[in-house]
Chains A and B, each alone.
Chain A
């Protein structure tokens, strides 16, 4: 049997915070989570804020060390083999973390050099990716602080892909994007998986996005993976009509679209 691209077994992570003299509070960000993602599969993790999605992505990105459990990325074990894992992953976080004063070109070239790539090859590849994401080449030399959030997020995706990683960890990559940019990014990810066979782990609030992009979906609530399966199977299991209703029925929580609230305000 082919080994999974991502394999997580009984993963636990607790954050402890001092609340007073000799007093600490505990928060289980990840509580006994197990799942696996096959090579070339797009797997979605759905959950509200604070459900543990970002912590999970951080563990897989080698930025957070779990308290217990096993993580294997294409056979490499974390945290023991983090150097090897770093070579096979690309990450896009919810906030486009860049040097805002630098241009897209400078940021992307810096990343390529940091990963030991040839600057010229990386530049060609980045231009190609940005073009596919619907971005004009003329914007390449503009400082990021002068770009919209949508453009910044597209560059963030280009940064992850310029490294040509077989594993892509996307932490709410379309949050805050306008509908057109969101569609551009989603189409690009679909195309990428089809063309390159990239394995994608995606966290999102957006049910429609999860349904469109993910072969399987996991519901995460209060650090626990409460259900997983295809969108159709989850809806059937919950006896619901939509994925939204299935999420509420299976987790007892509601997903709140922060952007929608912002618009209504």
Chain B
């Protein structure tokens, strides 16, 4: 147990020191995340429609959190390839479960910090009043959807294991597809008919739908001064689907990763690149 704790701590230790050493880039990425989100949210302000503003704010904020989480996990292998340390991580006597848990834990902390920065910025830019929103319910939904997104991140992390050159590109294509089909800034009904079924398999669709209800988007009692956030019971169907997706995607992600690692060792794909 003590060994497992130290091994998990190793990934937090590494993440913390890398963040410290790359602090310039960390600030740039956070600044960019904030500006992109504010730019989208200000479309609602310009339209003078607080419901639209709220829809966009919730979309920008949640997408920031989920995409950052997904991206950090999915790209963790690509980063190791670029640094040249992947072989050393893979030959350490650390189980893949502990390895990926450690990576996911640091990514989660990182995503929370970034999301808080973006939230503070959005409130400042849009002057949005969040009184009446069910923020506790939002946290519950985010906690449950985190499991599904960690699972997706683990599945996407196998791409850089499979191909040093194409892997990182594939994780971004996957991420972009999630953004497109999940109704981040618009209802999924506006998507072409043939694309709409894809939104049903994205966990982000349910996270956004549940959080918008909890913030009071589209609720008859919501006013710019006081939002009518739905109770947690109103989003139980979404919560159930997200929990099921998490229960499926997490073990699937781990299983896929272990399988692909074994394949990479047979094919000789772990060699340093970059």
* CA–CA, A93 and B270, complex, Å: 14
Residues of A within 8 A of B14 (CB): 99, 102, 110
B21 at the interface (CB under 8 A from A): yes
Minimum C-beta distance from B212 to chain A (A): 40
User: What total of chain B residues lie within 8 Å of the partner, measured CB to CB?
Assistant: 33
Q: Is the CB of B92 within 8 A of A86?
A: yes
A209 at the interface (CB under 8 A from B): no
Known: A86-B93, A99-B14, A115-B92. A63 touches B272 (CB 8 A): no
B49 at the interface (CB under 8 A from A): no
A256 at the interface (CB under 8 A from B): no
Q: Is the CB of A113 within 8 A of B268?
A: no
Residues of B within 8 A of A61 (CB): 87, 91
A111 at the interface (CB under 8 A from B): yes
Residues of A within 8 A of B93 (CB): 83, 86-87, 115-116
* 0/1 string, A9-41, CB within 8 A of B gives 1: 000010100000000000001000000000000
* CA–CA, A98 and B17, complex, Å: 13
Residues 208-227 of A contacting B (Cβ, < 8 Å): none
Q: Is the CB of B6 within 8 A of A97?
A: no
* CA–CA, A55 and B269, complex, Å: 12
Minimum C-beta distance from B8 to chain A (A): 9
Q: Is the CB of A65 within 8 A of B262?
A: yes
Q: Is the CB of B13 within 8 A of A55?
A: no
Q: Is the CB of B94 within 8 A of A93?
A: no
Nearest residue (CB) in A for B85 is: A97
A142 at the interface (CB under 8 A from B): no
Q: Is the CB of A98 within 8 A of B84?
A: yes
Beyond the given pairs A89-B91, A110-B10, 6 more chain A to chain B contacts, judged by CB atoms under 8 angstroms and listed by A's residue number, are: A55-B268, A83-B93, A98-B84, A98-B85, A102-B21, A111-B92
